[in-house]
Amino acid sequence: MSLTILEQAHALAPELQILRRKLHAMPEFGLQLPKTLEVILEQITGLGEISLGKSITSAVLLIKGDTEGPTVLLRADMDALAVIEDTNLEYAATNGFMHACGHDLHMAMGVGAAKILASRKSELKGDVIILFQPGEEGHHGADVMIEEDALMVSGSKPIRAYGLHVFSSYPLGMMGSRAGALMASAGDLLVTVSGSGGHGSMPWLSKDPISVLNEIMSAIPTMITKRFNAFDPVIVNIGWVRAGDPATTNVIPESASFGATVRVFSAENADKLKNYTQELVSSIAKGFGLTASVEFTRATKVLLNDAAAIKSVEKVTAELFGPGRYLNLPTPIAGGEDFASILAEVPGAFVFMGACPPGIDHTQAATNHSNKAVFDDAVLGDGAALLATLAIDALS
Ligand SMILES: [Zn+2]
Ligand SMILES: [Zn+2]
């Protein structure tokens, strides 16, 4: 008797748990993850054709179905954060990095889906490519993979793309997503005011950048309230300010600057925010006889889910897990995610999966990116089954 995909995934779960814990104990940071890639390659060798990244440690596994057809893309991100783990888990990392965003689980789920799909080539009416991607956490790894043609390894551009993300503070096994914007465009804003330095006893002989920077910092929230639709939110949060030297109070410095994280949920607001901020900052600086520069660094795109792909997610989660496990989320979240770049190329969906360990109140649980975040690997079987089933469904 042949197993269902869910039974097959749950049979794989113990080995996926071992894999996940091994990966958890050896986190790597950024775009170069040589040891992590080695472990993934050990797992996927023999399951299909493997293409490696040119400038980064990425891999694409191509599983060809017995029947010719279009291509579907699945993605697992691989990188950890520069966080010192404080979880007391027996497999906790000790090298100054931590899989605090659960990407170790994503890799194990990706490997699980690969094993399931490789054993079901006769059911595949087309090809599946599984992207193992480094550098999700602000390093734009998805964009590098796109530039290196990872989307094209089957010879045709995928018709669908799916990815999952686990959350340590969402109820175990609950899944959620929504059509349209699911996650924000996240980027940085850097403002520098340039004046001229001098003696603090005679400010009229200098051009004090600190007071101008202060005016700008106060004006930005007002600009957001007065110039943007409150129902299409804009978040600008200043994370650092630099000016002067704490060793002295009687010197006016030459320049002052701040950096902020910026979150928007539409391309329209991303453009508006750039223009309005430029206008506001240079006008305020000019009003005091100073100059200022505004820099928006490369941001992730708004993560937009395709409506038809979300319908497939609703159907597949109900078929696999029964009713009540999938929730259509009422609002997006303000986090950023570079899978948005893949979804800008290929229609698809990103799905959240709760992984709060039992016995912990999820509303009190340490969130993703915390050095105390704990993810329950009981979700690995369900995650692998969901990815594999979404791929098969998209090809049928
Ligand atoms: Zn993260
Ligand atoms: Zn993440």
Q: Is the pLDDT of residue 308 over 90?
A: yes
Ligand nearest to the Cα of 369, by number: 1
217 and 143: one domain?
no
Ligand 1 centroid to Cα of residue 368, in Å, is 7
Q: Taking residues 299-316, what's their average pLDDT?
A: 97
CA of 274 from ligand 1 middle (Å) equals 25
Q: What local confidence, expressed as pLDDT, does residue 298 receive?
A: 83
Residue ranges near ligand 1 (ion) with Cβ within 5 Å: 101
Average pLDDT, the chain: 97
CA of 163 to the centre of ligand 2 (A): 11
Print the domain residue range for 265: 185-296
Are residue 158 and residue 251 in the same domain, yes or no?
Answer: no
Ligand number with the minimum distance to the CA of 83:
1
- Residue 2 — pLDDT band, cuts 50, 70, 90? confident
Is residue 371 left, alpha or beta, with left meaning phi > 0 and alpha meaning psi from -120 to 50?
A: alpha
Query: Is the distance from CB of 261 to CB of 240 less than 8 angstroms?
Result: no
Is 70 exceeded by the pLDDT of residue 319? yes
| Shared-domain flag, residues 289 and 386 | no
Verify that 130 and 262 share a domain, yes or no: no
CA of 79 from ligand 2 middle (Å) equals 8
Paired strand residues for 191: 258, 294
Considering every ligand atom shown, identify the ligand nearest to the alpha carbon of residue 100 and give its number: 1
pTM of the model: 0.93
Same domain, yes or no, for 25 and 96? yes
pLDDT digits (tens, 9 = 90+) for 125-184: 999 999 999 999 999 999 999 999 999 999 999 999 999 999 999 999 999 999 999 999
| pLDDT digits 0-9 by tens, 225-267 | 999 999 999 999 999 999 999 999 999 999 999 999 999 999 9
What DSSP letter does each residue of 224-239 carry, written as one string?
HHHHS-TTS-EEEEEE
Q: Which ligand approaches the C-alpha of residue 104 most closely? A: 2
**Which residue, of 296, 328, 360, is where some domain finishes?**
296
Query: What is the 109 CA–ligand 1 centroid distance (Å)?
Result: 17
Burial (Cβ within 10 Å: 0-12, 13-18, ≥19) of residue 287: exposed
* 12 and 128 assigned to the same domain: yes
Instruction: Identify whether the C-beta of residue 55 lies closer than 8 Å to the C-beta of residue 144.
Output: yes
| Centre of ligand 1 from the C-alpha of residue 358, in Å | 22
- For the domain that residue 207 is a member of, what is the CATH number? 3.30.70.360
Nearest to 377 by CA among 122, 20, 131: 20
Q: What is the pLDDT of residues 186-220, one digit of tens each?
A: 999 999 999 999 999 999 999 999 999 999 999 99
* Residues 148 and 9 occupy one common structural domain: yes
Per-residue pLDDT tens digits for 13-41: 999 999 999 999 999 999 999 999 999 99
- Residue 242 and residue 192 in one domain: yes
Q: What is the CATH number of the domain that holds 17?
A: 3.40.630.10
Same domain, 116 and 194: no
* Helix segments in 244-360, DSSP class H: 267-287, 307-321, 339-345
Res 373: pLDDT: 98
Domain match, 140 and 194 both: no
Alpha helical stretches, state H, 184-266? 209-227
Where does the pLDDT of residue 361 fall: very low under 50, low under 70, confident under 90, or very high at 90 and above?
very high
**Ligand index nearest the alpha carbon of residue 106:** 2
Residue 327 shares a structural domain with residue 391: yes
pLDDT at 1 over 70: no
Domain count, the chain: 2
CA of 267 to the centre of ligand 1 (A): 22
Query: Could you tell me which residues are beta bridge partners of residue 294?
Result: 191
Same domain as 269, residue 201 = yes
What tens digit of pLDDT does each residue of 119-136 get?
A: 999 999 999 999 999 999
